[in-house]
Amino acid sequence: MLTIGCHLSSAKGYRQMAADAASIDANTFQFFTRNPRGGKAKPIDAADVQAFEELAQQAGIERFLAHAPYTMNPAAAKPETRQFALDVLADDLLRMEATPGQMYNMHPGCHVGQGAEVGIQLIADALNEVLAPEQTTTLLLETMAGKGTEIGGTFAELAQIIGRVELADHVGVCLDTCHVWDGGYDVAGRLDDVLEEFDREVGLDRLRAIHLNDSKNVLGARKDRHVRIGEGEIGFDALAAVVNHETLRELPFFLETPQDDLSGWAAEIAALRAARQG
C-alpha cells in the first residue's frame, strides 16, 4: 500500500489535518510546526490530539512528518540566530512527544561563509544539545539542493553530520527528489546509482521519508524550485519509478508541489496511486 500525502496547513490543528488528508485519499501528511518563517508555536491541544488519533486510525494514517521552520539555522554565525534555532528545535522536539513515534524534518542549515566544515560541526553540536535518549521522535535531515551556502547538498555532508551525533539512533534522512536533482543526483536517469551512492555514504537504513517533487530546473542547477509532478525536468515516469522502487516503496511520500487547493494534490495522489505497481 502506497503511503502518500502532501504538505497541509496546521492552522486548524491535528484533527483537521487528518480530515484533510483523508478527503484527498492521502494516508500521511506533512505540516510546519509553526510559521515557516519562525515565530511562536501554538500550544498543543490534548483534546485535538485525541480527536486526531481516533480519526487517523479510521483513515489508516499511521505516520506524519512535522517540518521545522525553514528559516531556522543551527549553523548560523550570529549567536542569537543560532540560539533561536536551538530554542525552536528543543521546543519542537518536546511538542512532538505529544504524538509519540513520529518524524520531524529539518533543513540542516547554511554555513553563511564559515565553510562547510564549520557548518557541519555547528549542526552536529546543535543536535547533540537537543536530542534526548528517551525521545520517541526520529529527527530527519533533509537533502538540500546545495544553493548558496546550504549544507546537505551532498550525501557525504549529511553522513558527516550524522557521524558526529551521539544519539544517531534518533536521526534519519528525508530525500527530496527536487533537491537532489538540483544538487546533481540523476534520480530520473540513474536512480539505482543514486541510491547506491546514498547507501555507501549514509546507509539506506537511515532513509525514512521522501519529498516527492518535480523540479523546474535542469539536473545540477542548484536552484530548488518545486513544480507539479510531471510538469518539470524530472518528469512523471521517473517520479512514478521512485514510488515503485523496491528499496523506496514502503517509505512515506510527501508532495510539496505548488497547488491552489487540496484538489491539485488529490489529482497527483490519484495519478501516483494509479501508477503504483502492487
Applying CB under 5 A, the residues found at the interface with Zn ion are 224
Choose, by CB under 5 A, the member of 176, 214, 224, 268 that binds Fe ion: 176
- The yes or no reply on residue 211 touching Fe ion (CB under 5 A) is yes
Under the binding rule (CB under 5 A), the answer on residue 214 touching Fe ion is no
Cell of 133: 535518549
Query: Binds 211, which of Zn ion, Fe ion, none (CB < 5 to 8 A, cut-off by type)?
Result: Fe ion
Between the CA of residue 79 and those of 45, 72, 269, what are the distances in Å? 32, 13, 42
User: Which C-beta is closer to Fe ion: that of 55 or that of 123?
Assistant: 123
With respect to Fe ion, which residue has the nearer C-beta, 116 or 140? 140
Q: Smallest distance from the beta carbon of 219 to Zn ion, in angstroms?
A: 16
Kindly state whether residue 7 participates in binding Fe ion, applying the rule CB under 5 A. Answer: no
Q: Residue 181 and residue 144: Cα distance in Å, rounded?
A: 9
Instruction: Answer yes or no whether residue 206 interacts with Fe ion by CB under 5 A.
Output: no
224 binds, among Zn ion, Fe ion, none (CB under 5 to 8 A by kind): Zn ion
Q: Please provide residue 91's backbone torsions phi and psi, each rounded to the nearest 5 degrees.
A: -65, -45
Q: Minimum distance between the CB of residue 179 and Fe ion, rounded to whole angstroms?
A: 6
| Minimum separation from the CB atom of position 54 to Zn ion (A) | 33
**Total residue length of the chain:** 278
Q: Mark the segment that binds Fe ion (CB under 5 A) among 123-131, 156-164, 204-212, 266-274.
A: 204-212
Q: Is the dihedral of CA 164, 96, 265, 249 positive or negative?
A: positive
Binding residues for Fe ion (CB under 5 A): 142, 176, 211
